[in-house]
Amino acid sequence: MRKPIMAGNWKLNKNHLETLTFIDEITPLLRDVSAVDIVICPPFTSLNVATARTKGTNVKVGAQDLFWEKSGAFTGEISGDMLKVLGCDYVIIGHSERRQYFGETDETVNKKILAAFTAGLIPIVCVGETLQEREAGQVEQVLSTQIREGLQGLNAQEHGKIVIAYEPVWAIGTGRTATPEQANAAHVLIRKLLSEIFGAAAQDIRIQYGGSVKPENVKELMAQPDIDGALIGGAALQAEAFEKLVRYK
């Protein structure tokens, strides 16, 4: 009942020319796929060409961040409206790299989620614990704070299309994936937390797993009942690998 969603988070990779090359490779390969939502999230400078080149295809485009204000004296920032008018459909919010290096907090995540919905974008909201937190037995506490504070004030009617990405920080770019069972257990916990906010509609919210997802491990992760897709970094940068990830079955 939840349509799988496979998204590539390109991070700081690919200029606009490389973006066009990737899109020209990937769109013919994925043309027949309709059972999975496909999203690429290039850097801001590539979004213009990405939305233009994917227009009319089944590949959707997302940004990697946004700012919560609509306009004004906020040097270096990008608004949700700017992304929407470019043709973006999604925006990643609260990635652990933004939390770690750029001062993102649950409070700013919350403001950004609301701004994304106001602009008509679907937020992909990242949560996840560090290795230290996992080893200290704090997974539940960390996820619960991130969800309760990050998603404060949301409701099923207006915000039910939200996508959550569970990305344990210790699995990102490390080659160390959570086991399918570990990941699913976290997803079950997240869904329980979502049901406090969204009620029964939490059953329809898609929860992606992220952290060293590759063509070799995607199938067993996707076989878990509460894993509804993946947010993929490194392995999403090559068309051939990304095709395999989208065709995970």
Ligand X SMILES: O=C(CO)COP(=O)(O)O
**Among 139, 213, 221, 222, interactor with ligand X by CB under 6 A:** 213
Residue 198: what are its φ and ψ, rounded to 5°? -105, -5
Taking the complex as a whole, the smallest distance from the CB of residue 73 to ligand X amounts, in Å, to 30
Question: 72 is written with which tokens?
Answer: 């004004």
Q: Does 9 bind ligand X (CB under 6 A)?
A: yes
Q: Does 208 bind ligand X (CB under 6 A)?
A: no
Q: Does 233 bind ligand X (CB under 6 A)?
A: yes
The response to whether 173 counts as a known ligand-binding position is yes
**Cα distance between residue 170 and residue 172, in whole Å:** 6
Q: Does 234 bind ligand X (CB under 6 A)?
A: yes
Q: Does 172 bind ligand X (CB under 6 A)?
A: yes
Q: How many residues bind ligand X (CB under 6 A)?
A: 14
**Cα distance between residue 226 and residue 188, in whole Å:** 6
**Among 28, 120, 153, 173, interactor with ligand X by CB under 6 A:** 173
Three-state DSSP state, 175: coil
Question: 45 is written with which tokens?
Answer: 């400078």
Closest Cα to residue 162, out of 227, 219, 99, 91?
Answer: 91
- Cβ-based neighbours of 216, under 8 Å, separated by 6 or more: none
Of 97, 104, 129, 167, the active-site residue reads 167
For ligand X, the closer of residues 213 and 222 by Cβ is 213
For ligand X, the closer of residues 95 and 206 by Cβ is 95
Three-state DSSP state, 2: coil
The response to whether 233 counts as a known ligand-binding position is yes
Binding residues for ligand X (CB under 6 A)? 9, 95, 167, 172-173, 210-213, 231-235
Which residues are annotated as catalytic? 95, 167
